[in-house]
Structure 1
Amino acid sequence: MIIQIKVPSPGESITEVEVSTWLVKNGDYVHKGQTIAEIDSDKATLEISSEENGIITFMVEKGERVRVGDVLCIIESSKEDTKKHIVQEKKDHVEKVYPSNKNRKIPSPASKKFLKEKKIFIESVQGTGKHGRITKKDCIFHLEKNETSIVSNRPPIITPMYNRSKKKTPLSFLRRKLSERLVFVKNQTASLTTFNEVDMLEIFLIRKKYKDLFKKKHGVNLGFMSFFTLSCVRALKLYPDVNAMISGKEKINFEYYDISIAISGPKGLMVPVIRNAEYLSFREIEQEIYKLSTRVHNGKISIDEMTGGTFTITNGGIFGSMLSTPIINPPQSAILGMHKIMERPVVVNGSIEIRPIMYLSLSYDHRIIDGRESVGFLVSVKESIENPIKFLMGGNEDTLSKKLELY
């Protein structure tokens, strides 16, 4: 029986993919459910699994572009091949656990004592006795040979050369498509960036007080992203053009808030979406971010989970970035950049204090967002972060535990 493994559809509107990796060799025996290959679309990586036990034959090579529905490989399945494979597996297992004598070096009693005294590894001695048995004569010959070679083969002293080699590797399909989109954004948008700074002290105090209880209660950490996500939702409601996009000759304002979160994974930067963030609590946002980031790091994120999004948040601070101008995630019109938190001297009520300060940046498409909206948006995020109890948690300390769902 011959099974055809065809290229599945990674998502709507995607018609072509690239075979990024074969995880087995051509002609290998594969098992049903075993991951045999990875394919890259312009948005994500998809794993391909074997549908049956049998011998695999590749129909396309690594790096080759194929269309959805094309035959990726065939698997020839038969009872005879399966029986042979099971027998061979058992044989390999027995050989591994109980290696045959032909692969073992057995020293004579005299040579064993000599090897121990001279501290010679048995693997380095060539035996000339019956069945490769190592004799004392073999040990003496090995020792004399090596003592001679140390003197005669001592390399001349030469000036060391610097290593100036280089290595070329092809860009993955995912990386090439990402490059194309970044260049498109640069050329097709009127991108500007505005900056502000935010005092993180209040967030620090809340997290210090409640993070252990929050983790125990909900199973996830109380991070910064839930505060920034809800702060952005509030700011987007105040400045709706930041939550908009251009479509031809029209501007589309979204009346819902799907927040894309940039997450770095093994295949590159992925941007999964937290949908309808305006209806989510701190707990729900943190749990959603944990779920999405885990899927990104495991290479399991799907196209659907990255489709859409009306506004993006990216946190370069986790890599140590002090300040940056993030690139807009098309077709969105703006992106918030978070950065590294640093203790800095600031003036508070006429006095100089040391506070944890983060720089914020907002890159935006000036075609539909003016300076007033961009600056006002960042100021709104700043005031929400610096006074979260008032703007995010109902206005008083009594509602804090309720908002965090701790009781």
Structure 2
Amino acid sequence: MIEVKVPELAESVTEGTVAEWLKQPGDYVEKGDDIVELETDKVNVEISAEESGVLKETLAEPGDTVKVGDTIAKIDANGEAGETAETTEAPAAEETKEEPKQETKQAEPAEEETNGGQPSRPIASPAARKLAREKGIDLNEISARDPLGRIRQEDILEHEQKQNAPKAQPKEEKKEAPKDDPAKPVERIRMSRRRQTIAKRLVEAQQTAAMLTTFNEVDMTNLMDLRKRRKDKFLDDNGVKLGFMSFFTKAVIGALKKYPYVNAEIQGDEIVLKKFYDVGVAVSTEDGLVVPVVRDADRLDFAGIEKEIGNLAEKAHAKKLGLNDLQGGTFTITNGGVFGSLWSTPILNSPQVGILGMHSIQWRPVALDKDNFENRPMMYIALSYDHRIIDGKDAVGFLVKVKELIEDPESLLLEG
């Protein structure tokens, strides 16, 4: 019988939740077939069969938490499709039932002898009887380890030890959850492992970092004009649309190079300044927010960034992100504007110390000078940062640099 165990999932990931069994007991599986999907704190992982055979039984139900190394299923390499542990073990179970019956019949005469239909005293050695009298123990209360039921001294000592052992404290009764009022119907939904992890990490970020947020606004006129002029040719040349994210990613990298402490993290009593630019891009999915990482974004051109963001978003929605797609980012960009957000204070993605929030573009009257106004497409941007290592001056300077680069988008080609 081949045991299916939970494999090493990733660094710092030691357990997962059974999301769905892709194969059922009795199914024949080929080597390499996915048989179960686990939900971890970060991604869903599919476990495949290492050998061909029949899936005999599953040892965990959907929703159960399993740890690395746990056996969660068994495969019979010589089984036939349709066989399960219940069908193959039924005869053995009957035999097991018969065996205790025989043992009981054999043990009964030794445990209790009858005299005119009345039970006689337990069988015990003279030394055991003497010890029981000295300790005031009733031999009828003792369970003998001897197969024939004879009580020995060690049985009495064991019984005494159990009697003198401290009794376990009664468990506190669980407080019952408040009962729902039938007149006010509600629906209770269990949080997924990923949602629980998101909640936990967001709370940790607020509790451990000295988080502040600074704001600015960007005039999107020049960028939108450039995009309008270039989008068709860009699509023809690269096979991908020219969006705003590539411009903001390039602008963020330019600002990070000028303000390196925003591209850092705290490890113990050290500040780790990172000389590479792995930019996380927040993606909203049905299961919650995930932040896949665009690796070495500073080495990619606009088309490369747009393609990578598109690929990662597609994998996120299809639940195909790997752990490598999510780990190791140095800075994060989140765009609440796609949902209509005008203003927000994004929460840090620990252990990063900075996150940029983009928002909706709205036409607003902008003063060109003291006498003239003009309607312009404006976007509020926000930088949340860890004040433990980033001073307010640098945070404001970082955001101003992003604003300058976005408002002069041609400069991004030179800065990049």
Flag whether TM exceeds 0.5 (same fold).
Answer: yes
Name the CA distance, whole Å, in 1 between partners of 2:321 and 2:332: 17
Once the two structures are TM-superposed, the CA of residue 164 in structure 1 deviates from its matched residue by: 3.3
Name the CA distance, whole Å, in 2 between partners of 1:80 and 1:47: 24
DSSP 3-state at the match of 1:12 = coil
DSSP 3-state at the match of 2:81 = helix
Name the CA distance, whole Å, in 2 between partners of 1:379 and 1:22: 51
Matched, 1:222 2:242: yes
Q: Is contact 1:11–1:304 with CA below 8 Å preserved after alignment? A: no
Query: RMSD of the alignment, in Å?
Result: 2.2
Q: Which runs of 5+ in 1 are unaligned?
A: 84-161, 396-402
Name the CA distance, whole Å, in 1 between partners of 2:45 and 2:231: 36
Once the two structures are TM-superposed, the CA of residue 168 in structure 1 deviates from its matched residue by: 1.4
Once the two structures are TM-superposed, the CA of residue 268 in structure 1 deviates from its matched residue by: 1.4
Instruction: State the partner residue of 1:11.
Output: 10
Q: Which amino acid aligns with 1:321?
A: S
Instruction: State the partner residue of 1:240.
Output: 260
DSSP 3-state at the match of 1:169 = coil
Name the CA distance, whole Å, in 2 between partners of 1:296 and 1:181: 19
- CA deviations 1:263-295 (Å, max 9, x no partner) are 112321111111221211101111111111111
Q: Is contact 1:37–1:49 with CA below 8 Å preserved after alignment? A: yes
Q: 1:384 to 1:168 in 2, by over 3 A?
A: same
Once the two structures are TM-superposed, the CA of residue 377 in structure 1 deviates from its matched residue by: 0.6
Q: Write the mapping of 1:129-144 to structure 2, written as runs, cut at 5 A.
A: none
Instruction: State the partner residue of 2:294.
Output: 274
Q: 1:82 to 1:19 in 2, by over 3 A?
A: closer
Instruction: State the partner residue of 1:167.
Output: 187
Q: 1:207 to 1:11 in 2, by over 3 A?
A: same
Once the two structures are TM-superposed, the CA of residue 80 in structure 1 deviates from its matched residue by: 4.2
Name the CA distance, whole Å, in 1 between partners of 2:214 and 2:295: 26
Q: 1:81 to 1:340 in 2, by over 3 A?
A: same
Q: Is contact 1:273–1:305 with CA below 8 Å preserved after alignment? A: yes
Match of 2:387 among 366, 386, 389: 366
Aligned length, in residue pairs: 315
Instruction: State the partner residue of 1:73.
Output: 73
Q: Write the mapping of 1:290-309 to structure 2, written as runs, cut at 5 A.
A: 290-309=310-329
Instruction: State the partner residue of 2:309.
Output: 289
Name the CA distance, whole Å, in 1 between partners of 2:37 and 2:79: 28
Name the CA distance, whole Å, in 2 between partners of 1:380 and 1:56: 62
Q: Is contact 2:337–2:361 with CA below 8 Å preserved after alignment? A: yes
Match of 1:29 among 27, 30, 37: 27
Name the CA distance, whole Å, in 1 between partners of 2:330 and 2:34: 34
Higher-Rg member (1/2)? 2
Once the two structures are TM-superposed, the CA of residue 5 in structure 1 deviates from its matched residue by: 2.5
Q: Which amino acid aligns with 1:240?
A: P
Q: Which runs of 5+ in 2 are unaligned?
A: 84-181
Instruction: State the partner residue of 1:93.
Output: none
Match of 2:405 among 374, 384, 403: 384
TM-score (norm 1): 0.73
Instruction: State the partner residue of 1:94.
Output: none
Name the CA distance, whole Å, in 2 between partners of 1:28 and 1:308: 42
Q: 1:59 to 1:235 in 2, by over 3 A?
A: same
Identity %: 46
**Which shifted more, 315-324 or 53-62?**
53-62
Instruction: State the partner residue of 1:54.
Output: 54
Matched, 1:205 2:204: no
Q: Is contact 1:20–1:172 with CA below 8 Å preserved after alignment? A: no
Matched, 1:42 2:41: yes
- CA deviations 1:127-179 (Å, max 9, x no partner) are xxxxxxxxxxxxxxxxxxxxxxxxxxxxxxxxxxx973222122112211221
Q: Is contact 1:30–1:50 with CA below 8 Å preserved after alignment? A: no
Instruction: State the partner residue of 2:147.
Output: none
Matched, 1:256 2:276: yes
Q: Is contact 1:192–1:364 with CA below 8 Å preserved after alignment? A: yes
Name the CA distance, whole Å, in 1 between partners of 2:36 and 2:16: 12
Once the two structures are TM-superposed, the CA of residue 212 in structure 1 deviates from its matched residue by: 1.7
Q: Which amino acid aligns with 1:235?
A: A
Once the two structures are TM-superposed, the CA of residue 307 in structure 1 deviates from its matched residue by: 0.9
Once the two structures are TM-superposed, the CA of residue 372 in structure 1 deviates from its matched residue by: 0.5
Q: Is contact 2:365–2:376 with CA below 8 Å preserved after alignment? A: yes
**Which shifted more, 47-56 or 242-251?**
47-56
